[in-house]
Amino acid sequence: MGIDVRHLVKRFRSSCQKTEGFLAVDDVSFSVQPGQMVALLGPSGSGKSTVLRIIAGLESPDSGHVIMQNHDVTWTPPQNRHIGFVFQHYALFKNMTVWKNIAFGLEVNRWEPEIVAAQVERFLALVQLKGYENRYPCQLSGGQRQRVALARALAPRPAFLLLDEPFGALDTKVRRNLAVQLRELHDEVKTTSVFVTHDQEEAFELADEIVVINRGRVEQAGTARDVYDRPASKFVASFIGNVNMVEGVNDGHTLWIGPLRRAVVPARALENRGELVLLVRPESIEVCSSPCSDTLDVMIRTVAYRGDRYEMMLDLDGLELRMIVDRQRGASRTWQTGATLHVRFSRFAVFEASEGHEALRDKLRSLGYIE
Amino acid sequence: MNPYPPSSSPRGPGFPSGLFAGKTLAGKKGERVMRWTALTYIGLLVVLPILAISGETVKSGFRTILADLSRPEALASLKLTFLLAFTMILITSCMGTLTAWVMVRYPFRGKAVVNALIDLPFAIPTVVTGLMLVVLYGPASAIGSFMNRNGVEVIYAKPGIVLALLYVTFPFVVRAVQPVLMEMNMEMEEAAACLGAGKWTIFKRIVFPSLLPSILTGAAQAFSKALGEFGSVVIVAGNIPMKTQIAPVYIYGEIESYNPSGALAVSLVLLAGSMIVLLLLNVARRVGTRYGA
Amino acid sequence: MVPNPFTDISRSVRRRDQRQSPRRYQWFFLRRDPRLMQRLLIAAVLAWLAFLIAFPLIGIITHTFADGWRPFVDALIEPEAMHAFIITLLVTGVAVMINVVFGIIIGLVIARHQFPGKILVEELVSLPLAVSPVVAGFMFILLFGRNGWLGSWFEAGGVRIIYALPGMIIATIFVTLPFVSKEVIPVLLEIGTEMEDAARTLGASPWQVFRYITFPSIRWGLAYGITLTTARALGEFGAVLVVSGNIIGRTQTATLHIHESYTNLHFQGAFSASLVLAVISFTMLLVMEFFRRRIEKSREN
């Protein structure tokens, strides 16, 4: 009942023949376990929507395979794939009422009229749109349209539910509400779902597994914990969550960190040597009471109390670090701007600095991943 | 910063103030002069002729008009006009929609030329249209003589009239459908496909209903134009009374033979036909806006 | 508690085909594969356009020049033909000028003013499109004819309208009345009144507002409307035929001349004049296309 995506490649040719075209999907492989909900997470233009459209059969790959329920469906038209597809802008049939919209998929598959009616009623109840049967899509709000689209996609009992930025066009409050509903619906009808999003919170909240896609390539596939705690690449680490980037040099014994290359002896020996980039989550910076071999002395620049946590900007020889201290631990002492702290990186990811630290930072900043 | 913030309209946003609609006395006067100029012009050129024909109707009386209308030639010409206009509409709706579909959805070479060809019937004088059709399909031409030998008469017969009507009304449906098709999102069709609908079902239940208002608009315009078409038909049709004489040609004949009451009766029917079609067109537009969102 | 919709309906209700191969991949909105259906439809449309529009055009060109250039030129320099073209130019010129001035005024009134009965006025402006040209001509005969409402009055003053140039001009004005205002109104509505208001607050007079603000923004729409008017006026036949009396050498326009030559079996004359008109119309078409592009471009800015 799962989906297997193997080595998909898709190049969009532009209208001028001379150019090579745009490589939207570059050797993408991942698999979706039956009954799971998987998020394709990536920045806009990363090719995640194209992957979803290939799974649906709305685009054809240049090479590679899509395998559903152990059948190769790469060349099967979308009609025969047992899918429900929810479009970003819903694509409701403007000339049909809500009832007709939901019934459409059942009628074209020649369900018995009584069963159609029963099924539509059930789904109207499921998405809480009873009483709206005879409205036209233009008479509904954005959230209601979204729910109709969801009901329409689910009513023919698809084996797979595919959602393209399902909450992209909604405002934050409606979005959170609907996200919870979607997850409940998914668990209730037990389909296998794949959804595309650029919002990591949405992905973390809904998905069993997250496939991070960047520039047409899979950067990492795994659970939320995997991609957050063990990012496979610098991109994943910086795209998901907040992260501090500190550069350093490892000579095998000592790590020389920060702009002034302060010496630190890490608790565990690092495999990589030479020029490195350390990615440290704000909550992985730990405050120690006294200096020791694996701590750094930093200065507090600003302190902000956020209710459930304290957020601090630290100064490491001119480099800004963000630190988060949870409420309980934060309340146990006073934080004073300008004071010196001894901090240790409790966990961090290490990548070799293939390009200069600043260059990488600039690029990520320009893409909007870091501030 | 801007030292001169923009002054808002004294009547508030959304209220059409605009040219010559100022609050000053001079502005008001200018506005009034302009409005009355426009109204007088329309009154003299459009309302007066309509009044003339209405007055003539009242003067000659209901009975005379009915008598004039029930002459076999008049009835036959009207019947033929409406029948051929309907035939033309059926064909032009199908072919016009198809042309718009191909123009919007399919890439092919020479699209710009085709695009120009579609507008040609609007630009070319109708008499020239008639002449061109006679040249190509007339008995003297290769196609015409071939068809004649096989027992199909085109020119000086009904098919020729339909052909002429098709020519002069061709752009209406195409130009009505084209923009709607261009704006129509492919997502709706894709959604239907994902739900398991086949090509034909998608067309029948998604595409066609979305296009229908614009097809109706184009068809209504074409019909209204076809009812009154004269220049091309007068050349293409043999204008044989009772057989290939359409209503406008009949009216022209009556005017030429100084029989205004005969012309009046048929004119009234044509005018009424056009008006009803215009009314239907407005209804179709309203249907079209209902789905707009 | 909402019942689970997936438990109580048997799986057999579904009816979908699983056997698929790449060959059956003829999915009509995926554009990149060559498909039979698409080609057939394109061919059908091209054939239809060819037989309806393109071939007749080619036919008349080949017929006109069947015996070379000389008969073509001879037919055109006949005095009747020359005179007919002059009359056509005269009628077209006057009708277009009058309609441009009043078309702009009507456009401004409809787009900018609010007054009761505006919808009726809008409908009246587009009415000439719905009236058969022959009926239009007939209406003017009823109005200005010898026994007509105003005709006897004009006759007493020594002015002939029907069977003379004024009637032909009036008839042409009537059939081309809507074109200028119909093109100007949407542009006026789109640009809104902000710029005009701004100019007025800066102290511009109404004429200055029109000259420097309104006119520059409507000029391409106006040009398009003028082209439409001209094309229609050049080719007008039915209305002019009815009101002109078709007096050769006096009230015969080019289209009437073509009709006359054709009915008198003087085919070379009819074809030659037709070709000239067709070429003019084709030029008009190209000019219209140019203006339409300009309108679209200015809309984008």
Q: Is C30's pLDDT higher than 60?
A: no
Which residue from A minimizes the CA distance to B292?
Answer: A138
Q: Nearest C-alpha of chain C: how many angstroms from B114?
A: 8
Cβ(A187)–Cβ(A108) under 8 Å?
no
Q: Nearest C-alpha of chain B: how many angstroms from A242?
A: 35
What the block records as the tokens of A109 is: 């598959």
Which H or E run contains A63?
A: strand A63-68
Strands (E), A223-348: 244-250, 255-257, 262-264, 274-280, 285-288, 296-305, 309-316, 319-326, 340-345
CA dihedral C166, C171, C176, C178 (to 10 degrees): 110
- Inter-CA distances, C85 with C61, C127, C139, Å: 19, 29, 26
Total Cβ atoms within 10 A of residue A131:
9
The amino acid that residue B138 corresponds to is G
Q: Which residues of B255-270 are buried (b: 16+ CB within 10 A; e: fewer)?
A: beeeebbbbbbbbbbb
Per-residue pLDDT at B42? 93
Per-residue pLDDT at B14? 40
CA–CA separation, A271 and B105 (whole Å): 57
CA–CA separation, C63 and B134 (whole Å): 11
Q: Check C24 against A73: CB less than 8 A apart.
A: no
Phi, psi of A163 (to 5 degrees): -130, 125
Instruction: Tell me the average pLDDT across C90-102.
Output: 95
Instruction: Tell me the average pLDDT across C71-93.
Output: 92
Q: Give A349 or A31, the one with higher predicted confidence.
A: A31
pLDDT band at B284 (very low <50, low <70, confident <90, very high): low
Among C residues 57-116, those touching chain B with beta carbons less than 8 Å apart: 57, 59-60, 63, 102, 105-106, 108-115
CA–CA separation, B37 and B11 (whole Å): 26
Q: Check A79 against B197: CB less than 8 A apart.
A: yes
Q: Is B184's pLDDT higher than 80?
A: yes
Q: Is A297's pLDDT higher than 70?
A: yes
Per-residue pLDDT at A250? 81
- Inter-CA distances, B72 with B248, B263, C67, Å: 15, 14, 45
Quote the radius of gyration of chain C (alpha carbons, Å).
Answer: 28
**Residue C40 CB-density burial (10 A; 0-12 exposed, 13-18 middle, 19+ buried):** exposed
pLDDT band at B215 (very low <50, low <70, confident <90, very high): very high
pLDDT band at A20 (very low <50, low <70, confident <90, very high): low
Q: Check A157 against C6: CB less than 8 A apart.
A: yes
C191 at the B interface (CB within 8 A)? no
Q: Give A331 or A336, the one with higher predicted confidence.
A: A336
CA–CA separation, C231 and B135 (whole Å): 23
Per-residue pLDDT at A370? 57
CA angle at A99 for the pair A94 and A104, rounded to the nearest 5°: 75
The proportion of chain A whose per-residue pLDDT surpasses 70, expressed as a percent, equals 92
C195-211 pLDDT tens trace: 888 888 888 888 888 88
The amino acid that residue C283 corresponds to is T
A241 at the B interface (CB within 8 A)? no
What the block records as the tokens of C18 is: 């699983």
What are chain A's partners, defined as 3 or more CB pairs within 8 angstroms? B, C
CA–CA separation, C50 and C97 (whole Å): 36
C125 at the B interface (CB within 8 A)? yes
Among B residues 160-219, those touching chain C with beta carbons less than 8 Å apart: 163, 166-167, 170, 186, 189-190, 193, 196, 199
pLDDT band at C96 (very low <50, low <70, confident <90, very high): very high
Which residue from C minimizes the CA distance to B249?
Answer: C134
Per-residue pLDDT at B293? 36
Choose from B141-145, C75-79, C171-175, C187-191 the range with maximum mean pLDDT: C171-175
CA angle at A361 for the pair A360 and A365, rounded to the nearest 5°: 120
B20 at the C interface (CB within 8 A)? yes
Which of A94, A107, A134, A152 would you mutate first to test chain B, the one with the most B CBs within 10 A? A94
Q: Is C23's pLDDT higher than 50?
A: no
What the block records as the tokens of B9 is: 């309209």
Among A residues 43-62, those touching chain B with beta carbons less than 8 Å apart: 56-58
* Cβ within 8 Å of residue A196, ≥6 positions away: A39, A40, A48, A49, A51, A52, A163, A164, A165
- Inter-CA distances, A213 with A35, A231, A278, B142, C53, Å: 22, 13, 22, 66, 53
Conformational region of residue A266, where left means phi above 0, alpha means psi within -120 to 50, and beta covers everything else: beta
Termini Cα distance of chain A: 42
Q: Check B119 against C289: CB less than 8 A apart.
A: yes
Q: Check A75 against C20: CB less than 8 A apart.
A: yes
Q: Is C47's pLDDT higher than 90?
A: yes
Q: Give A77 or B162, the one with higher predicted confidence.
A: B162
**Residue among A56, A91, A94 minimizing CB distance to B210:** A94
pLDDT band at B116 (very low <50, low <70, confident <90, very high): confident
Q: Check C20 against A77: CB less than 8 A apart.
A: yes
The proportion of chain A whose per-residue pLDDT surpasses 90, expressed as a percent, equals 26
Which residue from C minimizes the CA distance to A70?
Answer: C18
Among A residues 200-239, those touching chain B with beta carbons less than 8 Å apart: none
Q: Is C298's pLDDT higher than 90?
A: no
Q: Check C271 against B135: CB less than 8 A apart.
A: yes
C270 at the B interface (CB within 8 A)? yes
C247 at the B interface (CB within 8 A)? no
Which of B31, B37, B131, B282 would you mutate first to test chain C, the one with the most C CBs within 10 A? B131
B269-283 pLDDT tens trace: 999 998 888 777 877
Q: Check C22 against A75: CB less than 8 A apart.
A: yes
Per-residue pLDDT at B27? 58
In 3D space, the residue among A177, A189, A165 whose CA is nearest the CA of residue A39 turns out to be A165
C141-156 pLDDT tens trace: 999 887 777 888 888 8
**Residue among C2, C24, C25 minimizing CB distance to A126:** C2
Per mean pLDDT, which range of A28-32, A133-137, C25-29, C57-61 is the poorest? C25-29
Q: Which residues of A touch B292 (CB under 8 A)?
A: 94, 138
In 3D space, the residue among B212, B190, B114, B178 whose CA is nearest the CA of residue C28 turns out to be B190
B254-263, long-range: CB within 8 Å, 24+ apart, which pairs?
B255/C134, B255/C137, B255/C138, B255/C141, B255/C242, B260/B56, B260/C138, B260/C141, B260/C142, B261/B60, B261/B64, B261/B65, B261/B68, B262/B68, B262/B71, B262/B74, B263/C138
Beta bridge pairs of residue A161: A84, A193
What the block records as the tokens of C59 is: 């036919």
CA–CA separation, A245 and A279 (whole Å): 5
A136 at the B interface (CB within 8 A)? yes
Per mean pLDDT, which range of A55-69, A147-161, A241-255, B40-54 is the poorest? A241-255
Q: Check B229 against C125: CB less than 8 A apart.
A: no
**Residue among C2, C13, C17 minimizing CB distance to A111:** C13
What are chain B's partners, defined as 3 or more CB pairs within 8 angstroms? A, C
Q: Is C213's pLDDT higher than 80?
A: yes
Per-residue pLDDT at A366? 58
* Cβ within 8 Å of residue C69, ≥6 positions away: none
Phi, psi of A46 (to 5 degrees): -85, -5
Total Cβ atoms within 10 A of residue C252:
26
Q: Which residues of A touch C27 (CB under 8 A)?
A: 57, 77-78
Question: DSSP secondary structure string, A141-171?
Answer: -HHHHHHHHHHHHHTT--SEEEEESTTTTS-
- Inter-CA distances, C143 with B55, B76, B248, C150, Å: 10, 28, 19, 6
Q: Give A360 or B214, the one with higher predicted confidence.
A: B214
Q: Is C4's pLDDT higher than 60?
A: no
pLDDT band at B10 (very low <50, low <70, confident <90, very high): very low
In 3D space, the residue among A224, A233, A219 whose CA is nearest the CA of residue A46 turns out to be A219
Q: Nearest C-alpha of chain C: how many angstroms from B157?
A: 17
Per-residue pLDDT at A14? 61
CA–CA separation, C96 and C192 (whole Å): 27
Instruction: Tell me the average pLDDT across A72-87.
Output: 88
Average pLDDT, chain A: 85
Q: Check C15 against A109: CB less than 8 A apart.
A: yes
Q: Check C2 against A122: CB less than 8 A apart.
A: yes
C32 at the A interface (CB within 8 A)? yes
